[in-house]
Structure 1
Amino acid sequence: MIHKLIRHFFKKSFLIYGLVGAFVTIVQIGFLYLFRDYFHISDYISLTTAYIIALILHYFLNKHLTFLIKDKKVFNKMSLRYMFVVILSYGIYVANMFLLNKIVGINFSIALVITLGVNYIVNYFLYENIVFKHEKNI
Protein backbone atom coordinates (compact mmCIF):
# COMPACT_ATOMS: atom_id res chain seq x y z
CA MET A 1 0.00 0.00 0.00
CA ILE A 2 2.76 2.48 0.95
CA HIS A 3 4.71 1.50 -2.19
CA LYS A 4 1.68 2.29 -4.37
CA LEU A 5 1.22 5.66 -2.63
CA ILE A 6 4.89 6.59 -3.10
CA ARG A 7 4.74 5.69 -6.82
CA HIS A 8 1.67 7.87 -7.14
CA PHE A 9 3.62 10.90 -5.85
CA PHE A 10 6.15 10.50 -8.63
CA LYS A 11 3.61 10.39 -11.42
CA LYS A 12 4.13 13.06 -14.05
CA SER A 13 0.65 14.48 -13.44
CA PHE A 14 1.35 14.92 -9.70
CA LEU A 15 4.43 17.01 -10.48
CA ILE A 16 2.64 19.02 -13.19
CA TYR A 17 -0.16 19.66 -10.70
CA GLY A 18 2.39 21.27 -8.36
CA LEU A 19 3.83 23.42 -11.14
CA VAL A 20 0.35 24.54 -12.18
CA GLY A 21 -0.41 25.43 -8.57
CA ALA A 22 2.78 27.48 -8.24
CA PHE A 23 2.11 29.28 -11.53
CA VAL A 24 -1.51 30.04 -10.60
CA THR A 25 -0.39 31.37 -7.21
CA ILE A 26 2.03 33.77 -8.91
CA VAL A 27 -0.70 34.90 -11.32
CA GLN A 28 -3.11 35.40 -8.42
CA ILE A 29 -0.62 37.53 -6.50
CA GLY A 30 0.11 39.49 -9.69
CA PHE A 31 -3.56 40.27 -10.27
CA LEU A 32 -4.01 41.18 -6.62
CA TYR A 33 -1.13 43.63 -6.87
CA LEU A 34 -2.40 45.01 -10.20
CA PHE A 35 -5.96 45.57 -8.99
CA ARG A 36 -5.06 46.87 -5.55
CA ASP A 37 -1.88 48.87 -6.11
CA TYR A 38 -2.15 49.95 -9.74
CA PHE A 39 -5.89 50.40 -10.26
CA HIS A 40 -6.52 51.28 -6.57
CA ILE A 41 -9.46 48.91 -6.22
CA SER A 42 -10.41 48.08 -2.62
CA ASP A 43 -8.48 45.28 -0.93
CA TYR A 44 -11.36 42.82 -0.64
CA ILE A 45 -12.66 43.35 -4.18
CA SER A 46 -9.10 42.94 -5.47
CA LEU A 47 -8.58 39.84 -3.35
CA THR A 48 -11.87 38.28 -4.48
CA THR A 49 -11.35 39.10 -8.16
CA ALA A 50 -7.80 37.74 -8.16
CA TYR A 51 -9.01 34.58 -6.40
CA ILE A 52 -11.78 33.98 -8.95
CA ILE A 53 -9.36 34.49 -11.84
CA ALA A 54 -6.96 32.04 -10.18
CA LEU A 55 -9.69 29.41 -9.70
CA ILE A 56 -10.71 29.60 -13.36
CA LEU A 57 -7.09 29.44 -14.55
CA HIS A 58 -6.39 26.57 -12.14
CA TYR A 59 -9.34 24.59 -13.49
CA PHE A 60 -8.41 24.96 -17.15
CA LEU A 61 -4.67 24.38 -16.69
CA ASN A 62 -5.25 21.26 -14.62
CA LYS A 63 -7.93 20.06 -17.01
CA HIS A 64 -5.75 20.37 -20.10
CA LEU A 65 -2.15 20.11 -18.82
CA THR A 66 -2.25 17.97 -15.69
CA PHE A 67 -5.02 15.49 -16.51
CA LEU A 68 -4.91 15.85 -20.34
CA ILE A 69 -8.66 16.26 -20.84
CA LYS A 70 -9.54 16.97 -24.48
CA ASP A 71 -13.09 18.22 -23.83
CA LYS A 72 -13.41 21.88 -24.87
CA LYS A 73 -16.72 22.62 -23.11
CA VAL A 74 -16.42 25.50 -20.68
CA PHE A 75 -19.29 24.57 -18.37
CA ASN A 76 -20.39 20.97 -17.82
CA LYS A 77 -20.55 18.27 -15.12
CA MET A 78 -16.79 18.40 -14.77
CA SER A 79 -16.84 22.10 -13.91
CA LEU A 80 -19.64 21.48 -11.39
CA ARG A 81 -17.56 18.73 -9.79
CA TYR A 82 -14.62 21.14 -9.69
CA MET A 83 -16.71 23.73 -7.82
CA PHE A 84 -17.83 21.03 -5.37
CA VAL A 85 -14.22 19.94 -4.78
CA VAL A 86 -13.08 23.55 -4.28
CA ILE A 87 -15.70 24.02 -1.55
CA LEU A 88 -14.84 20.65 0.02
CA SER A 89 -11.13 21.48 -0.16
CA TYR A 90 -11.67 24.81 1.55
CA GLY A 91 -13.51 23.03 4.37
CA ILE A 92 -10.62 20.58 4.77
CA TYR A 93 -8.16 23.49 4.73
CA VAL A 94 -9.97 25.40 7.47
CA ALA A 95 -10.53 22.26 9.54
CA ASN A 96 -6.83 21.34 9.34
CA MET A 97 -5.78 24.83 10.35
CA PHE A 98 -8.18 24.81 13.29
CA LEU A 99 -7.13 21.33 14.38
CA LEU A 100 -3.39 21.97 14.12
CA ASN A 101 -3.36 25.53 15.48
CA LYS A 102 -6.18 25.65 18.03
CA ILE A 103 -6.51 22.04 19.18
CA VAL A 104 -2.97 20.66 18.87
CA GLY A 105 -1.37 24.05 19.61
CA ILE A 106 1.07 24.22 16.68
CA ASN A 107 2.32 27.70 15.77
CA PHE A 108 0.10 29.31 13.10
CA SER A 109 2.84 29.57 10.46
CA ILE A 110 3.95 25.97 10.94
CA ALA A 111 0.32 24.80 10.91
CA LEU A 112 -0.16 26.69 7.65
CA VAL A 113 2.82 24.98 5.99
CA ILE A 114 1.60 21.56 7.14
CA THR A 115 -1.95 22.34 5.99
CA LEU A 116 -0.77 23.51 2.58
CA GLY A 117 1.19 20.28 2.15
CA VAL A 118 -1.77 18.15 3.21
CA ASN A 119 -4.11 20.07 0.90
CA TYR A 120 -1.72 19.70 -2.02
CA ILE A 121 -1.94 15.92 -1.71
CA VAL A 122 -5.65 15.75 -0.83
CA ASN A 123 -6.62 18.13 -3.64
CA TYR A 124 -4.64 16.18 -6.22
CA PHE A 125 -6.47 12.98 -5.29
CA LEU A 126 -9.84 14.76 -5.28
CA TYR A 127 -9.20 16.23 -8.73
CA GLU A 128 -7.91 12.95 -10.10
CA ASN A 129 -10.69 10.79 -8.66
CA ILE A 130 -13.71 13.12 -8.66
CA VAL A 131 -13.30 16.04 -11.04
CA PHE A 132 -11.39 14.56 -13.96
CA LYS A 133 -12.03 10.84 -13.37
CA HIS A 134 -14.37 9.81 -16.18
CA GLU A 135 -13.23 12.26 -18.83
CA LYS A 136 -9.61 11.15 -19.12
CA ASN A 137 -10.14 9.60 -22.55
CA ILE A 138 -12.36 12.22 -24.20
Structure 2
Amino acid sequence: MSVTLTINGETRSVDADPDTPLLWVLRDELKMTGTKFGCGVAACGACTVHWDGVPIRSCQTFLEDVEGANIRTIEGIDGKAAEAIRSAWRELDVPQCGYCQSGQIMAATALLTETPKPTDEDIDAAMEGNVCRCATYARIRRAIHVAAEKMEA
Protein backbone atom coordinates (compact mmCIF):
# COMPACT_ATOMS: atom_id res chain seq x y z
CA MET A 1 0.00 0.00 0.00
CA SER A 2 1.30 3.46 -0.87
CA VAL A 3 1.07 6.06 1.90
CA THR A 4 1.89 9.73 1.44
CA LEU A 5 3.23 11.84 4.27
CA THR A 6 5.37 14.90 4.73
CA ILE A 7 8.75 14.25 6.32
CA ASN A 8 10.81 17.32 7.23
CA GLY A 9 8.84 19.43 4.78
CA GLU A 10 9.18 17.02 1.86
CA THR A 11 6.24 15.00 0.57
CA ARG A 12 7.18 11.34 0.47
CA SER A 13 5.31 8.31 -0.78
CA VAL A 14 6.12 5.01 0.88
CA ASP A 15 5.10 1.51 -0.17
CA ALA A 16 4.82 -0.44 3.06
CA ASP A 17 2.33 -2.40 5.09
CA PRO A 18 -0.01 0.09 6.82
CA ASP A 19 0.70 -1.44 10.23
CA THR A 20 4.45 -0.89 9.90
CA PRO A 21 5.75 1.31 12.73
CA LEU A 22 6.78 4.77 11.53
CA LEU A 23 10.22 4.19 13.08
CA TRP A 24 10.98 1.38 10.63
CA VAL A 25 9.66 3.37 7.68
CA LEU A 26 11.98 6.24 8.63
CA ARG A 27 15.02 4.05 9.25
CA ASP A 28 14.63 1.22 6.71
CA GLU A 29 12.64 2.73 3.85
CA LEU A 30 13.77 6.37 3.97
CA LYS A 31 17.29 5.75 5.41
CA MET A 32 16.79 8.43 8.09
CA THR A 33 18.71 6.83 10.94
CA GLY A 34 18.83 9.76 13.37
CA THR A 35 15.67 8.48 15.03
CA LYS A 36 16.78 5.57 17.20
CA PHE A 37 15.25 2.23 18.16
CA GLY A 38 15.41 1.83 21.91
CA CYS A 39 12.73 -0.36 23.44
CA GLY A 40 10.00 -0.82 20.83
CA VAL A 41 7.22 -0.25 23.38
CA ALA A 42 7.19 3.58 23.59
CA ALA A 43 8.81 3.56 27.03
CA CYS A 44 12.26 5.06 26.40
CA GLY A 45 11.80 8.01 24.03
CA ALA A 46 14.74 7.24 21.73
CA CYS A 47 12.36 7.13 18.75
CA THR A 48 10.68 10.50 19.41
CA VAL A 49 9.63 12.52 16.36
CA HIS A 50 7.12 15.36 15.98
CA TRP A 51 3.69 14.85 14.43
CA ASP A 52 2.37 18.30 13.59
CA GLY A 53 4.68 19.69 16.30
CA VAL A 54 3.70 17.20 19.00
CA PRO A 55 6.31 14.69 20.20
CA ILE A 56 5.30 11.08 19.60
CA ARG A 57 6.97 7.68 19.86
CA SER A 58 7.52 6.46 16.31
CA CYS A 59 7.99 2.83 17.39
CA GLN A 60 4.31 2.61 18.31
CA THR A 61 2.88 4.95 15.65
CA PHE A 62 1.80 3.08 12.58
CA LEU A 63 2.17 4.19 8.99
CA GLU A 64 -1.58 4.15 8.39
CA ASP A 65 -2.07 6.57 11.31
CA VAL A 66 0.23 9.23 9.87
CA GLU A 67 -0.98 9.29 6.27
CA GLY A 68 -1.05 12.95 5.26
CA ALA A 69 0.66 14.00 8.50
CA ASN A 70 3.53 16.44 8.85
CA ILE A 71 6.36 14.50 10.51
CA ARG A 72 9.57 16.17 11.68
CA THR A 73 12.62 14.08 12.61
CA ILE A 74 15.93 14.98 14.22
CA GLU A 75 17.36 15.43 10.70
CA GLY A 76 14.85 18.18 9.95
CA ILE A 77 14.18 19.88 13.27
CA ASP A 78 14.59 23.62 12.88
CA GLY A 79 13.51 26.95 14.28
CA LYS A 80 14.51 29.13 17.20
CA ALA A 81 13.88 26.50 19.90
CA ALA A 82 15.79 23.80 18.00
CA GLU A 83 18.79 26.08 17.43
CA ALA A 84 18.81 27.12 21.10
CA ILE A 85 18.61 23.48 22.23
CA ARG A 86 21.45 22.39 19.92
CA SER A 87 23.62 25.28 21.09
CA ALA A 88 22.98 24.58 24.79
CA TRP A 89 23.58 20.83 24.27
CA ARG A 90 27.01 21.57 22.79
CA GLU A 91 27.86 24.29 25.31
CA LEU A 92 27.08 22.05 28.30
CA ASP A 93 28.40 18.87 26.70
CA VAL A 94 25.12 17.11 27.48
CA PRO A 95 25.57 13.73 25.74
CA GLN A 96 27.65 10.99 27.21
CA CYS A 97 27.06 7.96 25.00
CA GLY A 98 24.62 9.98 22.88
CA TYR A 99 22.20 7.18 22.00
CA CYS A 100 19.13 8.84 23.50
CA GLN A 101 19.97 12.35 22.41
CA SER A 102 17.85 12.60 19.27
CA GLY A 103 14.76 11.75 21.35
CA GLN A 104 15.85 14.09 24.14
CA ILE A 105 16.39 16.96 21.69
CA MET A 106 13.03 16.36 20.00
CA ALA A 107 11.20 16.40 23.36
CA ALA A 108 13.11 19.46 24.60
CA THR A 109 12.45 21.38 21.37
CA ALA A 110 8.72 20.69 21.60
CA LEU A 111 8.76 21.87 25.22
CA LEU A 112 10.49 25.17 24.44
CA THR A 113 8.23 25.78 21.46
CA GLU A 114 5.18 25.52 23.72
CA THR A 115 6.70 26.83 26.97
CA PRO A 116 9.58 29.25 26.30
CA LYS A 117 10.38 29.73 30.02
CA PRO A 118 9.87 26.30 31.58
CA THR A 119 10.17 25.56 35.28
CA ASP A 120 11.94 22.46 36.56
CA GLU A 121 8.50 20.88 36.92
CA ASP A 122 7.63 21.72 33.29
CA ILE A 123 10.91 20.17 32.17
CA ASP A 124 10.42 17.05 34.26
CA ALA A 125 6.89 16.58 32.87
CA ALA A 126 7.93 17.14 29.25
CA MET A 127 10.98 14.91 29.47
CA GLU A 128 9.30 12.12 31.45
CA GLY A 129 9.68 8.86 29.60
CA ASN A 130 12.86 9.92 27.81
CA VAL A 131 15.35 7.53 29.31
CA CYS A 132 19.06 8.27 29.40
CA ARG A 133 21.18 5.20 30.11
CA CYS A 134 24.04 7.46 31.23
CA ALA A 135 21.80 9.45 33.61
CA THR A 136 22.65 12.89 32.22
CA TYR A 137 19.31 14.22 33.45
CA ALA A 138 20.84 17.12 35.41
CA ARG A 139 22.77 18.27 32.33
CA ILE A 140 19.67 17.91 30.17
CA ARG A 141 17.60 20.02 32.57
CA ARG A 142 20.31 22.67 32.79
CA ALA A 143 20.69 22.75 29.01
CA ILE A 144 16.95 23.33 28.59
CA HIS A 145 17.18 26.30 30.98
CA VAL A 146 20.22 27.63 29.08
CA ALA A 147 18.35 27.21 25.78
CA ALA A 148 15.38 29.13 27.20
CA GLU A 149 17.77 31.96 28.15
CA LYS A 150 19.26 31.91 24.64
CA MET A 151 15.79 32.23 23.14
CA GLU A 152 15.14 35.36 25.22
CA ALA A 153 18.35 37.05 24.06
Bigger radius of gyration among the two: 1
> Shared fold (TM-score greater than 0.5)?
no
TM range (shorter): under 0.3
TM-score by length of 1: 0.27
- Choose between structure 1 and 2: higher helix proportion: 1
TM-score, structure 2 as length reference:
0.25
